[in-house]
Structure 1
Amino acid sequence: MSDQFNDESNEANRKNDQETDIGRTRSVINQPTVPDKRLANFQGQATQIPGISGINLSYLPGDIVDNDYQLIKLLGRGGMGAVFSCRHLTLDREYAIKLLSAQQLSKEAWVRFQSEARALARLNHPNIVSIYNMGIDKQQCPYYVMDFLSGSPLDELIHKSGMLDEQNALDIFIQVAGALNSAHNQGIVHRDVKPSNVMVTSEPDNGKALVKIVDFGIARVSKQDLTSQSQTATGLIFGTPYYMSPEQCQGEKVDARSDIYSFGCALYEALTGRPPFVGDSAFHTFMMHQSDEPPPMRGKAGSKIAPELVAAVDKMLHKKPADRYQTMALVEQDLILIREDRSTQPAKKKVEPKQTLAAPIIADEDEDEVEAEDPLLNRLKKIGLVLGALGIIGTLLVVYLVLENEKHKKNNNLTVDEGVLTLRPTQLLRDFGASPEELQDVTNEKIIPLEESRQNAVKLYKSYQSLPNFLQEKFRRDGYFHFLPNVSLGSISIGDKKPVSAKGNIEAPLGVGAFLYLITPTRGFPLFLHKFGPDDLTGLAIVTDSPSVVLKEIRSWHHLSEIDFFNPLLKAMPDATEYWDESKIADSDLPQIDKLNGIKILGLCKPVSGSAILHMTLLNRLEGLNLKEIKDFEPLLQELPKYDNLKELTLIHQETKNEQLEYLSKMKNLEKLTIKRGFLTLNSLSYFQKMPALKYLRLDRNDWNAEEKANFQKGLPKVEVTYEPVAESTYWEM
């Protein structure tokens, strides 16, 4: 990366080398207006970028930027520059490269942007486009290299469909909120949150919408002055003024709450098809941001939008920052709550607008904002019109994306079709040795109550939310955990004691460890973790839809030695495709988990892949690994014997057979082994006999009779073999 705007070191040699590569790169220096002869071969693909010294640089597909990046195709261009797809010549990997107009940057702004880019690179957030490199091509054109995304800008998707349905909008904007919250926690304010800066791709595993936010930090380094509220680029019309906060319009210092306002404008547009404030001119739009109330929100075909969602957007759009949500974490939390409410309540249920939570403001520590030198601009700022912040143009990646619609709409009433509920457990659990009595028990005693508890998730959360100082007061204090007496978060074990329901007051002496097992109804509310101090828990089993929020909350937990992203206390699910006791965690979350240096035991579940786990450095330090329905498991299984540090292993629903036991028999330090829902037979004994360090073996083969179990134990005289019910959903005694 370049550390200053006019870095001349090593550039002379680069320039000489590049200019010998005729036909691949060319600078139009002396006559910037002379047509490039190559244009005939690349109609619509050529672009000229103003350089630092006022010259224009011409870029075409095939050109090489900074000796490393060969341009492939023009993806978009605008006032701040142009975006190409490119290929790194050494790595042979495709990226996107943004070539920035030097006319829109000052030296100070470029240095500041580099600083923010480094901070973003350290975030490594799955919903923020990654920046890999930056520099200055031919000592003239600043550039930065980022992910090449296969997707479409959100504004394009809104334009195609007219507006998004509530479920799609919530799924997308919850991800946006999580990404912005992560950036805000690092002191980075986006300043240009709008649909065109939100790329929507799809997850390779399940086709669900995956969001990437682009152009962090670009808005505030722009010097461009525009009097229009819209700008045209590659056939798409969009304008930044529609999304600017009142304080941003006035040229005042902005913080995270300005992004929250812009976020609200973007969400309003996604739900209704148009921004909340659309004036006849930029000036008119700015004045509307200052004084007008947004029009009532109407969804598709004039349908009403959920009142709690309307209330949330209204709160985001308050004129005064102090009246808005105070952090993006609270925005994310309420949107998750609304999504859960929408998916669990009967369609016609009346829902009262909820209260929101207060938290400290995350201020932007930008002490070196570029001051406007134009006297006219200064006068305009005094009347609330800032033109200098309008020059940013969103990255336009012109790639087609089809968003997969929801395949099934669930009936979420409390009525339970017992035949439907028992069908899948019967099919699954009978193969693993479950008796008919166990199957009936798990339906009557476990599945139906779980369904009811999931439908009571919002009630549980609101019970806690109504408490004074909800976030400020921790659960553990004065030698006790203080939970509500009538609602349970799950189970908790203190020291070596068996787990008990996490409700009421539970004694927890100072210095004694505690393991918390959260249950499905809490999956949408990771903010509960904020009520635990950094020394309160030594173990956590969590069921969450927002692993990025969870990882942010627990990264300062000093004594946490085990984390499982599924609840090991629940042993039976009604449908293997449902996330009942499992988190919605993906391979993209593993780099953040890899940073949890204190973890000794790690539990992961579908759709995480075994090949991705192999890339974790944490694997070299773990003492225990708990795996449930891991995809692409075979590569990991084959490599496990290489990790002498592993002493405990749990495999759930991994289709474990004798062939897999052959690999496990080579793990020379494995002491504890649990295999649930495997396909073991009495002949599996010989493989366990090969495990030299094995002391404890947990199985669920209850279809073996007493004599068979006794003979199996005789074959392992130094191993304690225990059997657990296949379909029971109490805790494991490990």
Structure 2
Amino acid sequence: MKGNTDKFRGDELNNIDSQSQDSTIILDVETPHILELKPGVIILERYRVIELLGRGGMGSVYKVESLDNGSTFALKFLHKQQTNDATWRRFDIEAKTSNKLDHPNLIKVHESGLLPDGQPFFIMDLVQGESLADILKTRGRLSVNQAVKIFIQVGFALSYAHANGVIHRDIKPSNIMLEKRPGDTTIGAVVKVVDFGIAKLTGKDEFTQMTLTKTGEIFGSPLYMSPEQCMGMGVDHRSDLYSLGCVMYESLTGAPPLMGESALSTMMKHQSEEALPLKEASLGIEYPDQIERIVARLLAKEVRNRYQSAQAFTSDLVNFDSGLDTTVPLLLKTQTEAKTTVRPLYVIKLLAVYILLLALGMYLGTRFPQIVKAPPRVHLADVPISKAALTETSFDARILPGAKLPPQDRDVVDEFAPSYQKKCHELISKLEKEPGFFSTIDQNKKLRIFRFPDYSLGALGATTIRPRFARGTLSFPLSASLVYTPNNLAKAHPRIFKKFRDDDIEHLFIKNAISDLDLATVEFSNSDGVLENIAHFRKLEELNMVSTDPSPKAWLLINNFKKLNILSLSHVQLSPKDIAKFANFHQLKYFKLVTHERITDVLKKFNGSKNLRNLCVAKCNVTDEDAKLFSDIPNLEQLELRSTQVTDKGLRYMPMTLKLLDISYCKVTKAGIPDIVRLKNLRELFIDRDRLSSSEMHSLLRLCPRLNIQFAITGEEKHMLKDNPSARVFHDSQP
């Protein structure tokens, strides 16, 4: 929403310091006269001014309130001395651009016109949240998972804008907003691409802009401008993809891919220098090969070597998020040049043959028209994948036909599109009322056959079979232990869970996929409705709830699951006292809880439990006093205490039965080594790298020769383990 539009004259371009290179360059703009609107002023007889949100070189943005219904909007208007033909028309283009685009990841303009003193304005959606630029300032960089979740939505937005003939031309972190929607329980945190102030309209509007954005003019922010943009050449939608690559690069590494001492030198670098790989730019952090290839392709200097559409880029990101690899390694320019020798006569002959074949093809095509099959469609859904289903050996290539096709050949359906969502909600509302179940049993073939609608209801798999999109017909062996992860559509219509038989599902993941962003904006799903409609799942063994908000009354419904032995609760909006009201703690084999509250009441429930083998209370408020309760769990084998308040004193109470102990990021020192040595059955110890010195590590290994010490790792470092699992293990190389 903030344009960050600063004015630069042509002779000043080389003197701009690096701190201002993320500002938008628009050459030859006059100094604006600034109009101040005081809070409480009534504008257009319909809106009350609340506060100033931002001001740029061309205009200002205010937060306003509708006098009709109390809704809040953003009012944007030009400064009074910016109403010349060029700036007026640019402002008009932004209003028209935003008005013609109707997508959840873009800003919508509701009305436009002139203020009483003649200044052009428009009223648009108000984004309540923070920009990606603000997030990067406070966090430095994002994890791979966080970045992927954000840029999938940005990809949707650009794909929609490009399809409607709009090129943004100023993609940068400050123009990507993460919106908070506290009243929305079905969508979650939404990414918004904002500020189409220098957008270019293509197609029917191109002639109108010929006098407005002539070739040779420079628009954009130097740190994120494409090579053709830096040269003042004509740009198309692929320029936005280069800028998007710059933003994604900065989000992952903490720094833009190219930056000179001035704006001009930065623009020269975009034209001539290649960006370092992510690993080198981040000083050694490992990134998945797919992510390296995706970013490198976005940043290709030659337009033809980039992604040819935002849809293709989004498809690759979605496939990465789902565990598939459809990226194609880029060919090195030096390789192609070394192998290519061109003979002029040969080229002329080849061109002549090509023209002849083209003419023949056009003739035959008009005489004998053919029906062309549509490319395979890949529907996107917010489907988290079960850890148990992520083993490489369990992957079935038949799950997603055509998964290895190049991304340009795939038709990605934007499930955030309002028209698609509306259609699905209408269809599922009818389906809820129909009798019958999704599944039928074929006793002869020993199969459980599901017949879902054509739109996805999430992911359905098994503990040994990779999840598939829950749509169409799916078959599983009767012996398979099925895992279901509903998407937002299914959670918005919880009565749809009644269409599962009571013995269909054994593992259920109720998770808000957008919450993986973990950027201080967590939205919650319709968990009460889900719990009320799954009470008949009599074979349910595992319940995994992430970022949910069940009421204390609905929470007690899980007492119906008599076979439940795995319970995982992360950021669930229940107090530990309410969680402790679960009646069947003693039947659990695995329990995980992530909360910042004191969990003493919950830990007491495991006193004397003979079934519990694995307890994870990482990041919880667990103290040394609470650690005494662990000694009352007679068969506990794995205990995860990462990032708790446990110290050396708490290690005294660790049960002798432990085989795995995670004390990474706890306040444990070398004084706790004797208590670790005391645990004769311990085989795996997780600890952060800086907690013990190398000599102390070696001493511990000599005392416990069968102990395997593993270092705590970050989210990015997890990907490194795929190629080099030993990188996490501390090896005793001393004699």
Q: TM-score, normalised by structure 1?
A: 0.44
Q: TM-score, normalised by structure 2?
A: 0.44
